[in-house]
Structure formats: structure tokens, C-alpha cells
Amino acid sequence: MKILVYLPRTLGASLLAFPCLKSLEQNFPAAEISILPSAAYADFFQNVSPGYKVIRLPDFKDIAGLKRASARLKKMNFDLGLLLDESFASALLFYLARIPQRWGYDREGRGFMLTKKSRLRATDPQLHLKHHYLQLPARLGLKVADQPLRLSLPDSYRKSAAGRLRHSGLNPERATVVIKPGSSFGPARIWPLDQQKELVRRLLESRLQVVLVGSSNGQAITRGLLEELGDRVVDFSGQLSLEETAGVIAGARVYLGNDCGLTHLANLLGTPVVGLYGPSDPHLCGPSQPPAAVLHKSAPCAPCSYRACPYDHRCLSNISAGEVYEVISSFLAR
């Protein structure tokens, strides 16, 4: 039996879908399970999830691209397709590829293309995204198990990260705190710069190495940190591949980040995570397993989906550097 799982399009959501993959594997132990991630993460998932075959398709943006992609899938003769991406287009892809069994949530009017479906009602309780994905096979009659999950990185990732640290003047054997200070989503998810500066000063005074990671979208705030802290902090934002970033995070004593894919990556790598959650609800999208701690301040306007806060940003500005330092210290003391 050949099964294809269409993963969500973002890194964080894809990682939170892995417990669902494990449950699928337990229900169909003799099946060949393939995954279809976003093209941007295909190489990464191929190396961190060797138990699954990665199907590589360009991200289609028009009808012609969709037809080409479906024609390629049709030749692979899958028996069952599980849609963890909830878009109309993903269901249409499996429909055109003539995958006989197509399972998924009935969203965006796509139910007519599914052979087994589950419809969510407005009165249904909101679940953490991991449990949202686990709920789908459970509703469709499969047994599910929420078990701790660890990603295993190739040694080459760790060696490459260690080389990067040495080249930047750091010792890979010393305690390092990795921080993701920015956000590709927007400034609403960014902890205020003054608080970040104070925290980094405290970490450096405690003789800890501090490394900044993230995409080039976070470079504006990293420049603000570097203006005052200079070469005492190593800034890798916008410079590392996802594989190198994973290696750096895996070797850290603690990772500090906001609501983003790297936070979930650190969590699944087993690195202690400190998550700062403001406009988003950690009960729905926070770290899914220990070791992890979340700092979250309630606000009358939260949760929200604003990319830039139109008010006073109290959901994050009320988190003090002292609080974050104490949580990081508690992980370092273990």
C-alpha cells in the first residue's frame, strides 16, 4: 500500500504534523508512506525523516502548474492520500491525480473531492495544532497516539554548525544560548528591543555565548542589538541554511524564540525552548513537548492576527528581561 501525506505549507505546522505521521505509520505498518512538503523544505525533510520518502513537486501557482503536478503524482500510483494541508488546491491536486482514497478535513468547499472527510463545526473546541492534525485520523476511524518525538540530525549538520561557530570565534563546547530575535510574520511577534538588549547583557555577564539566528527579515532588529553589544554576540541571521541553523540549535543549551517554525524545530530537536508568545495563543501553537517553557501575558485584545500592533503591544512588552533570564537560568541549572 502506498500512502501520500500532503504536509502543511509552513515549517512549524509541518513539524507539528509529525505525530500524525507516526500514528499513520502505526495503523499501516506495512505501507510505504511518502510526504509532500513545501518545495522549500523538501531537502531538509528528506534528511531528518529518513523513514519517509519525500515527493518533490514545485509549488504550483496556476492551472497549468497544477495539471503538471497532478500528472506526475498520477504516475506514482498512490492508494491513499491524507491531506493535512486544508486548502482547496491540495484536494484538487489529489483529485486530478486520481488517488483512490482521499482523506481530509472538509474545508473551503472541497468536500466533494474527498472520499473520507471530517467537518469541523464552529462550536468545536479549538485544539493545539498538533492535536488538530491527530484528530483527523481519529475521526476517520484510526487509532492515534501522542508520543514524544525527536528529530535526528545527520552528523554533517552538527559538524557544519560547529565549524561555523569556530570560524566566528566561539567554542562549540561552551554553553551557548541561541536567540531568534526577529519575525518574518511582522513586528507584532517581536519582543521589544530594549528588553532583548537587557537580556543579552545578562547572558554575556554570566559568561554564556549568544548566537542570533533567523531569516534576513530579522536583520533590522539584530542590527539594533549589535550596535550596542558589538562583537560579543554572533549574528547568523540571514546567513545560514535551514540545515546549518538546525545544527546550531541542536548544539545549544537553550533556545529562545517567538511563534515561528524554528521554535518548533528546537522543540523537536530536544533543545530546551523558551517561547515568548504575545499576539498568538500558545495553547494553540506553542511548543508541543518538554523541555519547554512559555512566557505569555494576557491582554484584552489577544489573541490577534495583526502583523503590527495598533495599540501598546503589552502582550510582549510586559514580559521582562528578568523573567526570561530566570527561565533560561533554570534550564541551564539542570
Indicate if 77 and 172 belong to the same structural domain.
no
106 within a domain of the structure (yes/no): yes
Q: What pLDDT does residue 141 have? A: 96
* Residues of the domain holding 109: 2-139
Q: What pLDDT does residue 119 have? A: 96
149 within a domain of the structure (yes/no): no
90 within a domain of the structure (yes/no): yes
Indicate if 103 and 236 belong to the same structural domain.
no
Q: What pLDDT does residue 100 have? A: 98
Indicate if 184 and 321 belong to the same structural domain.
yes
Q: What pLDDT does residue 152 have? A: 87
22 within a domain of the structure (yes/no): yes
57 within a domain of the structure (yes/no): yes
* pLDDT tens track, the chain, 334 positions: 999 999 999 999 999 999 999 999 999 999 999 999 999 999 999 999 888 999 999 888 899 999 999 999 999 999 999 999 999 999 999 999 999 999 999 999 999 999 999 999 999 999 999 999 999 999 999 999 888 899 989 999 999 999 999 999 999 999 999 999 999 999 999 999 999 999 999 999 999 999 999 998 888 899 999 998 888 899 999 999 999 999 999 999 999 999 999 999 999 999 999 999 999 999 999 999 999 999 999 999 999 999 999 999 999 999 999 999 999 999 999 9
Q: What pLDDT does residue 30 have? A: 97
303 within a domain of the structure (yes/no): yes
Q: What pLDDT does residue 202 have? A: 97
Q: What pLDDT does residue 81 have? A: 98
Burial of 187 (0-12, 13-18, 19+ CB in 10 A): middle
Give how many domains the chain has, as a whole number: 2
Indicate if 169 and 317 belong to the same structural domain.
yes
255 within a domain of the structure (yes/no): yes
Q: Which of 84, 104, 139 is the last residue of a domain?
A: 139
Indicate if 67 and 129 belong to the same structural domain.
yes
Quick check: 176 and 170 in contact, CB under 8 A? yes
Indicate if 133 and 239 belong to the same structural domain.
no
For the entire predicted model, the pTM comes to 0.96
Q: What pLDDT does residue 261 have? A: 97
Indicate if 173 and 274 belong to the same structural domain.
yes
Q: What pLDDT does residue 50 have? A: 80
Indicate if 88 and 172 belong to the same structural domain.
no
CATH number of the domain within which 31 lies: 3.40.50.2000
Indicate if 26 and 174 belong to the same structural domain.
no
Indicate if 327 and 192 belong to the same structural domain.
yes
58 within a domain of the structure (yes/no): yes
Strand order across the beta sheet in which 116-118 lies:
53-54, 32-36, 2-6, 80-83, 101-105, 116-118
Indicate if 256 and 314 belong to the same structural domain.
yes
CA 270, CA 152: separation in Å to the nearest integer? 10
Indicate if 207 and 95 belong to the same structural domain.
no
